[in-house]
Amino acid sequence: MALETEAAMGVVAPRKKLHGRAFYESIGSPKYMLAPMVDQSEFAWRMLSRSFMPESERKTILAYTPMFHARLYHETQKYRDQHFQATRPGDAEKKPWLDGNPEIDRPLFVQFCANDPQHLLKAAKMVAPYCDAVDLNLGCPQGIAKKGHYGSFLQEDQELIFKLINILHENLDIPVTAKIRILETKEATLKYAKNVLAAGASILTVHGRRREQKGHLTGVADWEMIRFLRDNLPAETVLFANGNILEHGDIERCLEATGADGVMSAEGNLSNPGIFAPDPPVGFEGPEFWRGKDGKGGWRVDAVFRRYLDILYRYVRNEEPPVRKPLFVPGMDRGWLEEGSSPVFEEKKYEGSAKRKAGTELNPNYSALQGHMFHMLRHFVTRHHDVRNALAKARSQDIEQFEVICQMVERKVAEGILEYERTDGKSVDDPEGDEKLREKIESGVETSAGAILQCRRPWWVVQPIIRPLPSEAMAKGAIQPNKKEKKRMAEEQGQRNGDGPKKVKENGDATEEKAELAQATNALKKERKKKERKKKEKRNCVPGRIRTDVFRLL
């Protein structure tokens, strides 16, 4: 009877704790990993990502929660309620609801960031009944992680990393896993990985980028480094690879190149939640999947938008979605396009206690909605600014507003497909742009042009966002070289001019290129100081604010 009650509550009955490959096999040996993403790998998005797989294969996707802050999680009830909803608030019976529900949201790993072993253990014990493992974030490269001393900014303190993992390994009823980034050398990365495994991690996920590779400096992940770990770690080590997954075909390429057991996708999944599912066979696409005359295709943005909203209706709001007209495909009646007017988005203003609509309190599944739509519709909104503006004004908790935006998207997709058919595909052709991309590829320089040509689809199809390589971003002025990079560039320029590295070093300002670089850098510094001075003046002029510098003089 006790076991039946526990099962009804979604709590897994105590069982022998498995480790390493035995544990991995016990959850079905999944090879697709939906990455932990701050405020973006919430329940509804996990459900959406799984929905593209056949029902029998949905457990081949191992999903991670967003990264949670361990101390805040175990100390603050409000933080727990807003980030992890395993049961309904106020439900005395504690029946499974969303996060970690054994019927629909497994396998699931809960990820924490932490720098205190006791805080981590207390938080992990609170989620252990509702997940398959607890993962330690050792990869976050953002400034907030540096300020809070967690994520990748722990990698210099290997002793603390060992303690964080080991305390869970020794005291938690479920396994502990970890996600790291590579270091400067293969040897250092291997030593790091061995420390994580020795501490008790059952699974090691390796992001093939270093800590500084973020934003415009993201660049390409190093699969060779992950292969080096695969070849030099014990054969029983369960290894997941992360990085460079732009489309479904990259998954098998990554598995082959790295020898990893599974592949994790983050940004690729945000652009295309169906990335883990292969394209349907030709002739079996259905209305949700569009295939062009060149054979390339993808999931339609209006179809994915609908799926996402349907999940919010059914699971979060516990109600059926509204009845909608079928997705438009060529050959269907187009009277609604020719006669009807386009849906009009109306911005709503909320005041006081009415700011949040009854029954739709802000929770992770609503708060993430707007960000997800901007990411998934990135290529769409660059063309359709009215949809972009509507998304910007929409309230995440107001699903009815997003229903209107979905209708706007559906109409534009229908118009785009009709124009494509009318022009025999020429409406999306860009011969001049394609030629420029091919010229870049043929020039032999490192470029993202090949990825753009390979992955590009019409704007009504979900597709990856291709970041420019660091060298391309630097050439456009999006990033500025640091001192080390400036020195290297000057030496290379000197070698091209017939001067050796030594001469360039001795005559650092002799070349015109270096002089121009120095001039640009100085101008940038002056502009930055000017902006900082204006900000300071503005702060000091705020009414009611005490001028502490003047106060000290008095």
pLDDT at 543 over 90: no
User: How many residues in total does the chain contain?
Assistant: 554
Q: What share of the chain is helix, strand, coil (3-state, %, to 5)?
A: 50, 10, 40
Structure tokens at 228: 């080096």
Closest C-alpha among 60, 21, 30, 11 to residue 201:
21
Say which residue the tokens 């001393």 belong to.
Answer: 149
Q: Which of 138, 68, 129, 58 is nearest to 100 (CA)?
A: 129
Report the percent of the chain where pLDDT is more than 70: 81
Q: Using 50, 70 and 90 to split pLDDT, how confident is the model at 542?
A: very low
Tokens 């704790």 locate to 17
Range scoring the smallest mean pLDDT among 7-16, 413-422, 440-449: 7-16
Asked about 140 being catalytic, the answer comes back as yes
pLDDT of residue 2: 43
CA 84, CA 192: separation in Å to the nearest integer? 31
- Which of 23-37, 92-106, 329-343, 463-477 is the least confident region? 329-343
pTM: 0.84
Give φ, ψ of 96 to 5 degrees.
-60, 140
What CA–CA distances, in Å, run from 243 to 39, 113, 213, 262? 19, 20, 11, 12
pLDDT for 448-488, tens place per residue?
A: 999 999 999 999 999 999 999 998 888 888 877 767 666 76
Give helix 399-422 / helix 385-393 axis angle, nearest 10°: 170
302-344 confidence digits (pLDDT tens): 999 999 999 999 999 999 999 999 999 999 988 888 776 677 7
pLDDT (tens digit per residue) in 352-361: 444 444 444 5
Give the pLDDT confidence score for residue 15 in this predicted structure.
Answer: 67
> What is the Cα Rg of the chain in Å?
26
In degrees to the nearest 10, what's the CA dihedral of 262, 266, 268, 270?
130
pLDDT for residue 230 is more than 80: yes
Checking DSSP bridges between strand 61-69 and strand 108-113, what pairing results, if any?
Answer: parallel
Q: Residues 6 or more apart from 47 whose CB is under 8 A from it? A: 104, 105, 311, 315
Place of tokens 């959850």: 27
pLDDT given for residue 553 in this prediction:
27
CA distance 99 to 111: 13
Distance CA 479, CA 492 (A): 19
**Distance between CA 27 and CA 495 in Å, rounded?**
56
Per the residue annotation, which of 113, 140, 254, 406 is the catalytic one? 140
pLDDT for 485 = 65
Which token pair is 37?
């993403």
The CA–CA distances, whole Å, from 211 to 71, 145, 181 equal 24, 11, 7
Backbone angles phi and psi of 293, in degrees to 5: -70, -20
The total of other beta-carbon atoms located within 10 Å of residue 274's CB is: 22
Cα distance between residue 265 and residue 254, in whole Å: 11
